[in-house]
Chains A and B, each alone.
Chain A
Amino acid sequence: MKDLVIIGGGPAGMSAAIAAYESGLRDILILERDEHLGGILQQCIHNGFGLHKFGEELTGPEYAWKYEKKIIDLGIEYKLNTMVLSVSENKVVTATNSTDGIFQIKAKAIILAMGCRERSKGALNIAGSRPAGIFSAGTAQKYVNMKGYLPGKNIVILGSGDIGLIMARRMTLEGAKVHAVCELMPYSGGLARNIEQCLNDFGIPLKLSHTIIQIHGKDRVEGVTIAEVDGNRKPIPGTEEYIACDTILFSVGLIPENELSQSANVSLSRITNGAVVDQDRQTSVEGVFACGNVLHVHDLVDYVSDEAEIAGKAAVEYINKNTDAELQIVLKTDGKIRYTVPQVITKKKDVAVYFRVSNIYKNVVIKVTDGDKLILSKKKIKVAPGEMESVALKKEMLENVKELCFSLEEV
């Protein structure tokens, strides 16, 4: 029996653990399947982490180390090389490792912080051959940064997600040539600063509204045929272009790893692919919380840490039994705003609501309404799917509200 079991020792899991400790809890256990704490940050050796949280530019491992050190200093218990196999609805965690074998732990509360994985090439049904030399960008990152090997010399990248952009620069610095980054959508899903620093600074062309329609090469990749796509994302005949290359990297989206959440019967959102949560990041299963990339994909780790602190604190409140719901406000979106986190509010307190938009919009007003009543509005010069936005709701605004609709208007 444990008070709190945290699954995943990435930035989310570590921040949640520290927040729980600082709220007075001592009986905490982090289970991490990797041989280190730190999650995906361990392989992100570029800088750009921690600007919001610490006001300085850190590399991934440096950011992670700040938290890891604190975990060690506080004496918070963790088990590495330990893979959680399932979580039951009544909060029994089954895990395995080399020293304990397969074991079960019953927890009073659980925080899900398993992060996400990259969508694989296989999901895309791209025509052509299936040779060696096709990697997801994160896998290539692992070969280069963790193993010290170069998996490609002439590269085409599909998808302009942040990992793809970062890897365009990384491979270039390692002496490879990146011939193009193709993006299906008319805009990039990555951060503006990454497009500037990873592509433009190195003269790597970003081909928007383009996709790979055929892969060539029997043993190793020999080339790709790319084409421009129309408004329905269908290739336009006559725009085909052959690019010789030996490697294709895919950066076509991240999928929260929610197999364990499903085993615990947690309801998932079809839009975020993560759990549906309230302002405390509590899921549909009482005492089970979720935070970080397993909840929704974040572009900045700083927000992951913030979110995890909320979950960590709330888990302690739950264990101390101060969690009765006071209200039930459902948060809705108009489609231009794709989703919000949280999706429900059950307590009268200040709540920061995070959201993403579904397209690039300029000069917009974000509106939060309850029926005809305008609760809040916020102007933005530009919003993009790649950048997470937020609004701060004050607790007074939640008085007598039944439903909150988040909408976006172009002016």
Chain B
Amino acid sequence: MYDVTVIGAGVVGGLVARELSRYKLKICILEAENDVAMGATKANSAIVHAGFDAKEGSLKALLNVRGCEMMEELCNELGVRYSNNGSMVVAFNDEERETLQMLLQRGIANNVPDLRIVEKEELHKMEPKLSEDVICALLAPSAGIVCPYGLAISAVGNAMDNGAELRCNFKVNAIEKTENGYTVSSESGSVTTKYVINCAGMNSDIVAQMVGDNSFNIHARRGEYILLDRESDKLVNHTIFRTPSKMGKGILITPTVHENLLLGPTSFDISDKEDKDTTAAGFAAIIKSTNESTKFIPFHTTITSFCGLRSVGSTGDFIINSPVKGFINAAGIESPGLTSSPAIAEYIAEMLREDGLEMIPDPAFNPTRKSYDAFRNASEEEKNRIIKENPAYGKIVCRCEGVTEGEIIEAIHRNPQPRDLDGVKRRTRAQMGRCQGGFCGPYVVELLSKELGIPYESVTKFGRKSVINFEKTKGGQSE
């Protein structure tokens, strides 16, 4: 029997499990997909928001500011890329300037540090490629950017290194009350547990209903993005937001922690919770808005486009509560959910403690973890030492991102183990560059097949039925 079972291995579930792994607790993470970080956590803007958007006094405001404060140190511990690049909300006219004033006041009320309004001249010195039509901006120096799926993967990995268990392809479809806890079931089996934490993202309403909690529901709001290649001459350093309107926060322009340029998201309510389609209208909206904010966007360097789904809760705030004894919701975690996730984890640990769960610190707990970037970031001398020990680190597999065979094999054997092409991509960046796996895809399939001991043709892109190859060719034989 587990002490705590976390449903959903997104950034919230991952960090909850990691926070609880500090204590002598038996922890289990259940994830419906073939890998962790497959929900909103893999497709979002990756912004560590400063915290001036959410209404004063809301859970969103509280956890956002606290999460933003915690993010840098957490990322250092877990070896995740983070950059404190700061954000700007740009205004094109006096009406928007007034909105900035309102945001400034709200930010101050929310305890956001160092906020100020920057006037045109200074602004254009800071960001020379912004459109001349921008008249001023709200600058938030505490904002940043982070690798969101990297954070979730490393959080789950660190929890596992400290004893937590992960079960993928475990889609929870029933939860039954037992004498001293719950039985949580899926098609592939069941686990028994004292506590359940519901971090099921888009499905968190359905999971809550499994214990009779019908107090909220979640609907999907599409957000599409266009991702551009790294360029020597950076377009912007800060994250550039439009002034929010009734229509929402609008389309932003931001560097990513891997120095790409990310444009988006759109915002459109949809009824199908699994519909991650991009749309022609969405692309047009992104192109129009970002062209207004800057002088020139190098769209010809587009690498890919994608779509994420926001889990919009019916209450307007994060839904973090305990509807029945031993069951805690972390639901409706829409933006700024990524930013807030470390604070949500802390908050939930506190709820468990207050509920009487015995939490004895585990002296063996190790909060740190080697970064997936460790080899990349090593000095040339250090790299040469590693190559001598293991020649696989001298062999580049992904040409665009410069990822070696050694790094890929190492990633395949670390917690949480990737079992598909996209899993390797999110951990190592192999296939993430300008050719999108055109060169290295077949080789990564081979490495997965060899290292996991599975047939070449059974390797998938992202689990489920996403097979890459159907069968051997007539004359073909595997190598």
A residues near B (Cβ < 8 Å) are 33, 81, 83, 85, 96-102, 117-118, 120-133, 135-136, 138-139, 142-144, 146-153, 174-175, 213-214, 218-220, 262
Contacts and interface: CB of A to CB of B under 8 A. Distances in A.
Interface of B: 226-227, 232, 274, 276-280, 282-283, 302-306, 380, 383-384, 387-388, 391-396, 399, 402, 434-439, 441-442, 445-446, 456-457, 460-462, 464-479
Contacts of A143: 442, 468-469
Contact of A125 (B232, B283, B402, B472): B283
A256 B288 CA distance: 30
Given A118-B438, A128-B278, A146-B442, A123 B302 contact: yes
B466 A148 contact: no
Nearest to A174: B473
Given A83-B402, A99-B391, A148-B475, 14 more contacts: A97-B394, A120-B434, A122-B227, A123-B303, A131-B466, A133-B468, A138-B438, A139-B438, A139-B441, A147-B478, A148-B479, A149-B457, A149-B476, A214-B277
B470 A118 contact: no
30 contacts: A33-B399, A83-B399, A85-B402, A98-B387, A99-B391, A99-B394, A102-B383, A102-B384, A102-B387, A118-B435, A120-B303, A120-B435, A120-B438, A121-B436, A122-B302, A122-B305, A122-B436, A123-B303, A124-B302, A128-B277, A130-B276, A133-B468, A139-B438, A147-B442, A147-B478, A148-B473, A149-B456, A150-B471, A151-B469, A175-B474
Contacts of A175: 474
Contacts of B478: 147-149
B274 A218 contact: yes
A132 B437 CA distance: 12
A117 B461 contact: no
Contacts of B280: 127, 213
Contact of B394 (A98, A125, A262): A98
Given A142-B442, A149-B478, A213-B280, A122 B395 contact: no
A150 B473 contact: yes
B473 to A, nearest CB: 5
A211 B383 CA distance: 46
B438 A129 contact: no
A127 B278 CA distance: 5
Contacts of B304: 120, 122-123
B303 A122 contact: yes
A138 B387 CA distance: 31
Q: Which of A96, A135, A262 has the largest count of B CB atoms less than 10 A from its CB?
A: A96
A174 B476 CA distance: 10
B468 A132 contact: yes
A263 to B, nearest CB: 9
B276 to A, nearest CB: 7
A150 B396 contact: no
What 9 pairs between A and B have smallest CB-CB spacing?
Answer: A148-B476, A122-B304, A98-B391, A98-B394, A132-B461, A132-B466, A101-B384, A149-B469, A219-B465
A324 B468 CA distance: 55
Given A96-B394, A98-B387, A102-B383, A153 B470 contact: yes
Nearest to A131: B466
A225 to B, nearest CB: 11
B273 to A, nearest CB: 12
Contacts of A124: 302
Contact of B388 (A101, A117, A218): A101
Given A117-B438, A118-B435, A122-B302, A98 B392 contact: yes
A127 B279 contact: yes
B446 A147 contact: yes
A265 B10 CA distance: 43
Contacts of B395: 81, 97-98
Contacts of B445: 147
Contacts of B394: 96-102
Contacts of B227: 122
Given A81-B395, A122-B436, A149-B472, A220 B384 contact: no
A331 to B, nearest CB: 24
A147 B436 contact: no
A77 to B, nearest CB: 19
Nearest to B274: A218
A117 B436 CA distance: 11
Contacts of A144: 473, 476
Q: Which of B274, B457, B468 has the largest count of A CB atoms less than 10 A from its CB?
A: B468
Contacts of B302: 122-125
A85 to B, nearest CB: 7
Contacts of A96: 387, 394, 396
A188 B325 CA distance: 67
A82 to B, nearest CB: 9
Q: Which of B393, B394, B438 has the largest count of A CB atoms less than 10 A from its CB?
A: B438
A150 B460 CA distance: 14
Contacts of A132: 460-462, 466-468
A97 B405 CA distance: 11
A121 B435 CA distance: 9
B464 A219 contact: yes
B188 to A, nearest CB: 18
A121 B303 CA distance: 8
A139 B462 CA distance: 18
B362 to A, nearest CB: 40
